[in-house]
Amino acid sequence: MSEPRKKRVLTGVKPTGVPHIGNYLGAIQPALELSKEYDSFLFIADLHALTTRQDPAHLTEQTFCVAATWLAAGLDPSRVVFYKQSDIPEIPTLAWILSCYTPLGLLNRAHSIKAARQEGATDEDINHGLFTYPVLMAADILIFDTDVVPVGKDQKQHLEIAQEAARKLNLAHGEVLRVPEPKIDEAVMTVPGLDGRKMSKSYGNSIELFASDKELWNKIKNVKTDSTVYGQPLNPENEVMFEIYKLLGRPEQVAKLEAQYRSGRTDPNDPASKPFGWGDAKKALNEIVLERFGPARAEYRRLMNDKPYLRKLLAEGAEKARTTAAGVLGRVLDAVGIVR
Name the site residues for ligand ADP (rule: CB under 6 A): 17, 22-23, 25-27, 152, 189-191, 198-202
Q: Whole-number minimum distance, CB 228 to ligand TRP, in Å?
A: 40
Strand order, beta sheet including 80-84: 80-84, 39-44, 8-13, 148-150, 181-183
Q: Measured from the CB atom, is 184 or 304 closer to ligand ADP?
A: 184
By CB under 6 A, residue 149 contacts ligand TRP: yes
Contact between 151 and ligand TRP per CB under 6 A: yes
Based on its alpha-carbon atoms, the radius of gyration of the chain, rounded to whole angstroms, reads: 23
Residue 90 burial (CB count, 10 A): 21
> From residue 42 to residue 81, what is the string marking binding to ligand TRP with x (rule CB under 6 A)?
---x--x---------------------------------
Containing 41, the helix (H) or strand (E) segment is strand 39-44
Which among 293, 247, 319 is positioned nearest to 74, based on CA atoms? Answer: 293
Closest CA to 21 of 230, 178, 194: 194
Instruction: State how far the Cα of 22 lies from the Cα of 265, in Å rounded to an integer.
Output: 30
Minimum distance, C-beta of residue 200 to ligand ADP, in the bound complex (Å): 3
| Binding partner at 338 among ligand TRP, ligand ADP, none, C-beta below 5 to 8 Å by kind | none
Q: Which entry of ligand ADP, ligand TRP, none binds 202, CB below 5 to 8 A by partner kind?
A: ligand ADP
299-313 b/e (C-beta count within 10 Å ≥ 16 → b): bbeebbeeeeebeeb
Closer residue to ligand TRP (CB): 110 or 223: 110
What residues numbered 7-36 form the site for ligand TRP, per CB under 6 A? 10-12, 14
Q: Which residue from 155, 205, 260, 263 is in contact with ligand TRP, where contact means CB under 6 A?
A: 155
Contact region with ligand TRP (CB under 6 A), list: 1-9, 75-83, 133-141, 269-277: 133-141
- Give the nearest distance from C-beta 95 to ligand TRP in angstroms: 11
Judge whether 245 and 285 are in contact, CB under 8 Å.
Answer: yes
Please state the length of the chain: 340
Q: Any contact of residue 140 with ligand TRP (CB under 6 A)?
A: yes
- Contact segment (CB under 6 A) with ligand TRP among 64-72, 136-144, 243-251, 258-266 equals 136-144
Q: How many Cα atoms occupy the beta-carbon half-sphere of 79 within 13 Å? A: 14
Q: Which residues pair with 80 in a beta bridge?
A: 40
Give Cα 26 to chain centroid, integer Å. Answer: 8
Residue number with CB closer to ligand TRP (32 or 151): 151
Nearer to ligand ADP, 21 or 136 (CB): 21
Give strand pairing partners of 150.
183
Nearest to 281 by CA among 327, 333, 190, 220: 220
Among 91, 137, 241, 318, binds ligand TRP (CB under 6 A): 137
Q: Report residue 309 CA to chain centroid gap.
A: 22
Nearer CB in complex with ligand ADP: 189/290: 189
Give the nearer residue to ligand ADP in terms of CB position, either 97 or 209.
209
Cβ(205)–Cβ(249) below 8 Å: no
**List of residues contacting ligand TRP (CB under 6 A):** 10-12, 14, 45, 48, 137, 140-141, 149, 151, 155, 158
